Amino acid sequence: MKIFNTAVTLEYSLSFTDDIRGEILVDVGSGPTLYQVMSGCERFDRVILSDFLEVNRRELQNWLQEGKSSIDWTAYFKYVCQLEGRSSTTWAEKATRLRSVVSDVLPVDVHQSFPLSPEFLPPSGADCLVSSFCLESVSHDLLSFNHALDNISSLLKKGGYLLLIGALGESFYMGAPGLYIPVVPLDESQVCASLKASGYKLLQLCIYHLPPDMKVGVDDVTGVFFAKAKKT
């Protein structure tokens, strides 16, 4: 997790989600991180977290059960409270709220046609999906990215919202020293075309261009996109 991703994502996702509320929010490819649902947890009755890797799901469960978590989320909760116009001293209430609304931490595979186990969602699907830095990082080319986008859309009800956040221009990331993992380098127009092809109406797209000092060599990301779209 990169700090710039986190801070920028929080700010954009808040400004994006003011009007989005509902019963079920699904975070696709949560990783071990919570920042992407810290605001959404106030607007949904139930939040489902998901990741491909058991180690990440265990980390999330540890935090939810107030066990030993390897990440201290306090500063992130405080920051989100500030962004929401609340006092940062209310951060513990937000943490309690998040713990109370997360109903499940599930295995997910965006390369499967229905990426989650179906019994956890109503037949109509979730009200909202959020997915940050997942689809492009697990897709080696545009076709694979488009399939993954189609697949996660099967989890979303018609008229539901997708908040898709991801890296632009990334052709690789370093999985370990010397281990370069190839991924699809997306550009803005491809993101728009992919959303359209998957049956979404694009409501908002923001692009954050990475300043040179953020380019530290662990990947070749040039920017971050923040898309808010509605399933038609």
Ligand X SMILES: C[S@@+](CC[C@H](N)C(=O)[O-])C[C@H]1O[C@@H](n2cnc3c(N)ncnc32)[C@H](O)[C@@H]1O
Residue 133: CB minimum distance to ligand X, A: 4
> Of 41, 49, 51, 106, which one interacts with ligand X (CB under 6 A)?
51
- State yes or no: residue 56 binds ligand X (CB under 6 A): yes
The number of residues that bind ligand X (CB under 6 A) is 19
- State yes or no: residue 222 binds ligand X (CB under 6 A): no
Binding segment for ligand X among 104-112, 120-128, 207-215, 221-229 (CB under 6 A)? 104-112
Residue 137-166 contact track with ligand X, rule CB under 6 A, x = bound: xx----------------------------
Residue 109: CB minimum distance to ligand X, A: 4
- State yes or no: residue 134 binds ligand X (CB under 6 A): yes
- In angstroms, the CA 24 to CA 45 distance is 6
Residue 134: CB minimum distance to ligand X, A: 4
Supply the DSSP symbol for 180.
E
- In angstroms, the CA 155 to CA 169 distance is 27
Closest CA to 35 of 132, 109, 106, 107: 132
120 Cβ contact partners less than 8 Å away, ≥ 6 residues apart: 48, 104, 106
- State yes or no: residue 183 binds ligand X (CB under 6 A): no
HSE-up (13 A, CA, CB side) for residue 82? 10
HSE-up (13 A, CA, CB side) for residue 57? 14
Residue closer to ligand X by CB (options 90, 216) is 216
**Which residues are near ligand X by CB under 6 A?**
1, 29-31, 33, 36, 51-53, 56, 108-111, 132-134, 137-138
